[in-house]
Structure 1
């Protein structure tokens, strides 16, 4: 028990320390877990820990990840993205696989090993790329949407890859490769004093072979003929699909009747584990079964509850998996072959980047969007670790090649933040400067500038146009602008948060700037910049949350609209009416609430400090408590006075 607690503490402490630091440095959580694993590697050696056994357990996090990916894949969403999924995403996976396979064969590898290498390295890092795109506010751009399509295709492609890889197994060839590995271990011993590479070399293949094979555990297909095995396998898949379609709802309705949240969580885990077990018993990938179940449940009313229950377990297990990957890196091998491994890594990123650049051009991406796709997806991904383990387990790749590729995958992921810095510092400013110098880019000067033409900015612009005003609308999505242009609406492409583009739009002569972009931090930074440099401009800005209102107030904006506030007030007024209150009185009650809320917002905003957490700001806490006291009592009294007008006189006398 003590050994288990000590090991759990080591892993948890490493993740708690490393991941926040990595996230703060812009490296992302995945790299934080990898670095944490590298840091605790010597401790695990001292404790004589079998890292590979822990990795087998943690791989279930990947199974849960694919279940959650399946939950997101609604048929309508897939159909709307079909062109980019099949063309851009599918083209990237196929072309990268073939290119890497061809290069591997030029280096003398058999076609089966070369194909396996191509499949492993064709994938990019979903975790790193999506997190970075969201952090930088680039997800809504055409480059961000294209990157998401490619990543989604790659996640789906893992399923057929897991089915294909076992077919590439060549036991005779692997016997020769393992003999070569055995001779090579003498040199590895000399350069790897930790013994990490040797322990992982033998144990990795043997342990995985027991897990994924049929001889070492239970199986429903052992001893069956080929057609019998096929029938059992099809029956298992059909059971997953039919069970997800017809049994899930009644089961969850039955469980929800107990009104115990932990029982619902246990049921969700039971379902995922049960499906994974069934797939393993018929010799299929556990990830395949859970992915299918997720797709089946994508339109279920229990989808969001399943996501919220499974996601914490998925996150913890994936974090543990990445830490075991970092702890299993063979530093002796890296030190002995540093030039070759770095060369392979840079060569892989160049090949993938070249393919992505060509596909982006073919699919109409230009400028910064094309470079965002190219640089953002040039790395190998976390699923590469899973496939490497799977290829060794199924005797497709020898351990020596797997260890080399593991280093290539890890280093390419470590280099990804550098590529995003290159994009931010070099690529984006270059195209932004070119755009600002182009006299035809923005050829009108209006007193109104609108940043963002989505569901908020577009509606504001329509109202202004209907009233006879002219505005300059800037949006970062070329696809959105093309759609609007089809209806005769002419807007301008560009990033409205960039000073040079604001200058080109005529911010010096503007009277009103409407900020309706999506990213909270970008909104705040834009307000601060315009308030400091163009104080004559009236800034009307969209706020994402209540705390964001305070940040915008501190940045200088005094005309702030919470994006959900008005709709919430209207729903509250409708609730009053549904409870029998007259429409005029319901409107008066809503007006009183708005008046008091606005007064409270201003009072709290005066003591809000963006650099101090709210709970540690004594003046902020005191002001909130003041509002919750007499101010709230005053609001309650006014509300009741208005409501009393709907109560009959005899009822009032009875209450008196």
Structure 2
């Protein structure tokens, strides 16, 4: 029996991982959100799809899953990783900075949408007031995992969506707390007290221990150690919240928040991104398995009507609130369509409500199908909203300011990076530096420099640091291969960005020019020019002619290097991916 269970578990894992391996590259190639692909694959390979035919056609067995209960652990892991990623995006400081928009816009949307949807469920579905309210609040949520990659944070629409989503994500904790609490007022008070003590303990431990743990991991230059510490924090937080009755989901969110408060959150986001993406894909496959095509065919009028009504109510509420906050018409229109669908968190609340006896099995099954349909429609609604917003108000889609907008970004903060930062400060120009040496970062920040810990060799540096909005990019790392690669990536993504790169010698500078650098500064050339200037001044040549001749010689050498770069067919250093 144990062998059969283990064999079935391995089979299910291979099917899910194989489906993820097909969906991600296939849908990326046609530039369609893989969310739709994951849900459709789940519907196809699940017990309500081809899985029900496996007995009649044995060759389908290795390609399908015939029991959804076996893959629930995969779905739970996906949910925990999803909430962990949400916590990484938040941080207490970010919440405080956005408190007015989060509470005003996000709180109003959650309350109004929840009341309207709940009232409709109570009048048409015959639910009790308490059950209707829980259902309305669950359906009022929108998908952070789908919406934010589609909207980003560099537009007015993205910032509006973020404010609403932050409130929704935070509301998940008290909702789950109320649903999971058992035993009446006394048990509720005990759980609340235990939760407060546990949260205080996690905050203290996170502030004291996490920086030291991640600092040691940073010194080892070992990304696997970063991942291991992150997963350890996630596991311990889930165990702590589960022990006091809050549930593992709350612990996953708190774990992300704790790491978001450290200086290493950006690195943790990059290192855990593949795992979180895979976990989300697995979760969405399980969502697709909830799409019972037979049930849809049997009750399609009611399901389509409920889905359409939910989308219209939420879109109307978000549009009205956005206009009330004096946002542009195009921004309000795009945000309302983008966030009209339910959320993956809706499924978490529905499952908790079913376990608590607040909602019945048929009710949860019906609204689970509605949620799955809504999640499938989210990318399509986002595209429709963007197109309509462009027609109504073209300026609504213009980019907004990010944390690095208008700043000079310095990659590498050794002796060269520090000098560049000093000169930027001397002339009153804002800058933002990134370095992968935690000791260097700590020393620089103690001296007042604006430096963030991060390894620019991993992940998409262009996207992570919003290089498209930067004033210039300065590459000072003593790694010629990485410098060439970053120059090429930044130039491909940002044709108008000024890229100034440190080069070892003339040959390296030629490669940098070919890769797209605006200026490449060879150390050997600059050292020779400075020595020549010192010699000429010391032997009595006037400073003015010396400086003029040095500038002229530098221009000649750069022109020769540029010409050499144009003639080089392939960089000698090659590429490192």
TM-score, L = length of structure 2 = 0.67
Do residues 113 (structure 1) and 131 (structure 2) align?
yes
Which residue of the partner structure matches residue 175 of structure 2? 161
Aligned partner of 2:204 among 234, 242, 259:
242
Determine helix, strand or coil for the equivalent of 1:378: coil
In 1, the alpha carbon distance for the partners of 2:369 and 2:265 equals: 37
| Shift in Å, 1:323 | 0.6
Count of aligned pairs between the two proteins: 452
| Shift in Å, 1:315 | 1.9
| Shift in Å, 1:289 | 2.4
Contact 2:318 2:336 in 1 (8 A): yes
Do residues 85 (structure 1) and 107 (structure 2) align?
no
For each residue in 1:496-549, what CA deviation from the matched residue of structure 2 results, as whole angstroms up to 9, or x when unmatched?
xxxxxxxxxxxxxxxxxxxxxx797xxxxxxxxxxxxxxxxxxxxxxx962564
Do residues 565 (structure 1) and 527 (structure 2) align?
no
| Shift in Å, 1:283 | 1.1
Aligned partner of 1:353 among 308, 315, 324:
315
Determine helix, strand or coil for the equivalent of 2:340: coil
Which residue of the partner structure matches residue 371 of structure 2? 409
Which residue of the partner structure matches residue 612 of structure 1? none
The 3 A distance-change label for structure 1 pair 378 and 453 is: closer
Contact 1:116 1:165 in 2 (8 A): no
The 3 A distance-change label for structure 1 pair 24 and 119 is: farther
Which residue of the partner structure matches residue 372 of structure 1? 334
Do residues 307 (structure 1) and 269 (structure 2) align?
yes
Which residue of the partner structure matches residue 40 of structure 2? 35
In 2, the alpha carbon distance for the partners of 1:457 and 1:238 equals: 36
For each residue in 1:154-186, what CA deviation from the matched residue of structure 2 results, as whole angstroms up to 9, or x when unmatched?
22222222223335999xxxxxxxxxxxxxxxx
Contact 1:97 1:119 in 2 (8 A): yes
In 2, the alpha carbon distance for the partners of 1:315 and 1:451 equals: 26
Range with bigger deviation, 392-401 or 593-602: 593-602
Which residue of the partner structure matches residue 306 of structure 2? 344
For each residue in 1:446-469, what CA deviation from the matched residue of structure 2 results, as whole angstroms up to 9, or x when unmatched?
xxxx99999999799xxxxxxxxx
Which residue of the partner structure matches residue 334 of structure 1? 296
Aligned partner of 1:292 among 246, 251, 254:
254
Which residue of the partner structure matches residue 230 of structure 2? 268
In 2, the alpha carbon distance for the partners of 1:422 and 1:316 equals: 27
| Shift in Å, 1:581 | 9.2
The 3 A distance-change label for structure 1 pair 455 and 228 is: closer
In 2, the alpha carbon distance for the partners of 1:116 and 1:161 equals: 8
5+ residue gaps, structure 1, are 171-223, 436-449, 461-517, 521-543, 553-559, 605-622, 630-656
The 3 A distance-change label for structure 1 pair 253 and 98 is: same
Which residue of the partner structure matches residue 515 of structure 1? none
The 3 A distance-change label for structure 1 pair 93 and 300 is: same
For each residue in 1:302-335, what CA deviation from the matched residue of structure 2 results, as whole angstroms up to 9, or x when unmatched?
3233323333222222211111121132222211
Which residue of the partner structure matches residue 115 of structure 2? 98
Alignment of 1:594-613 (within 5 A): 595=559, 598-599=562-563, 602=566
In 1, the alpha carbon distance for the partners of 2:383 and 2:220 equals: 51
**RMSD between aligned alpha carbons?**
4.2
Determine helix, strand or coil for the equivalent of 1:379: coil
In 2, the alpha carbon distance for the partners of 1:304 and 1:451 equals: 22
Contact 2:502 2:523 in 1 (8 A): no
Which residue of the partner structure matches residue 127 of structure 1? 145
Determine helix, strand or coil for the equivalent of 1:59: helix
In 2, the alpha carbon distance for the partners of 1:252 and 1:550 equals: 33
| Shift in Å, 1:292 | 2.6
For each residue in 1:67-105, what CA deviation from the matched residue of structure 2 results, as whole angstroms up to 9, or x when unmatched?
332233344432332222111111111111111111111
Alignment of 1:518-597 (within 5 A): 546-547=488-489, 549=491, 561-565=496-500, 582=530, 595=559
Aligned partner of 2:286 among 324, 331, 338:
324
Contact 1:59 1:318 in 2 (8 A): no
Aligned partner of 1:13 among 18, 41, 59:
18
In 2, the alpha carbon distance for the partners of 1:280 and 1:33 equals: 30
In 2, the alpha carbon distance for the partners of 1:548 and 1:424 equals: 26
In 1, the alpha carbon distance for the partners of 2:195 and 2:555 equals: 63
Contact 2:102 2:163 in 1 (8 A): yes
Which residue of the partner structure matches residue 447 of structure 1? none
For each residue in 1:536-579, what CA deviation from the matched residue of structure 2 results, as whole angstroms up to 9, or x when unmatched?
xxxxxxxx962564689xxxxxxx64344369999996988999
The 3 A distance-change label for structure 1 pair 323 and 599 is: farther
In 1, the alpha carbon distance for the partners of 2:407 and 2:190 equals: 61
Do residues 61 (structure 1) and 7 (structure 2) align?
no
Contact 2:233 2:255 in 1 (8 A): no
Do residues 145 (structure 1) and 87 (structure 2) align?
no
For each residue in 1:392-411, what CA deviation from the matched residue of structure 2 results, as whole angstroms up to 9, or x when unmatched?
22222111111111111111
In 2, the alpha carbon distance for the partners of 1:394 and 1:384 equals: 15
Range with bigger deviation, 116-125 or 292-301: 292-301
In 2, the alpha carbon distance for the partners of 1:451 and 1:71 equals: 23
In 2, the alpha carbon distance for the partners of 1:85 and 1:598 equals: 51
The 3 A distance-change label for structure 1 pair 581 and 306 is: farther
In 1, the alpha carbon distance for the partners of 2:361 and 2:533 equals: 76
For each residue in 1:216-252, what CA deviation from the matched residue of structure 2 results, as whole angstroms up to 9, or x when unmatched?
xxxxxxxx97766555443322221111111223334
The 3 A distance-change label for structure 1 pair 128 and 230 is: closer
| Shift in Å, 1:255 | 5.4
The 3 A distance-change label for structure 1 pair 145 and 591 is: farther
Determine helix, strand or coil for the equivalent of 1:63: helix
The 3 A distance-change label for structure 1 pair 603 and 84 is: farther
For each residue in 1:430-477, what CA deviation from the matched residue of structure 2 results, as whole angstroms up to 9, or x when unmatched?
4459x9xxxxxxxxxxxxxx99999999799xxxxxxxxxxxxxxxxx
In 2, the alpha carbon distance for the partners of 1:31 and 1:346 equals: 18
The 3 A distance-change label for structure 1 pair 585 and 78 is: farther
In 2, the alpha carbon distance for the partners of 1:456 and 1:73 equals: 18
The 3 A distance-change label for structure 1 pair 295 and 458 is: closer
For each residue in 1:477-496, what CA deviation from the matched residue of structure 2 results, as whole angstroms up to 9, or x when unmatched?
xxxxxxxxxxxxxxxxxxxx
Aligned partner of 1:279 among 231, 241, 246:
241
Determine helix, strand or coil for the equivalent of 1:565: strand
Which residue of the partner structure matches residue 444 of structure 2? none
Contact 2:113 2:313 in 1 (8 A): yes
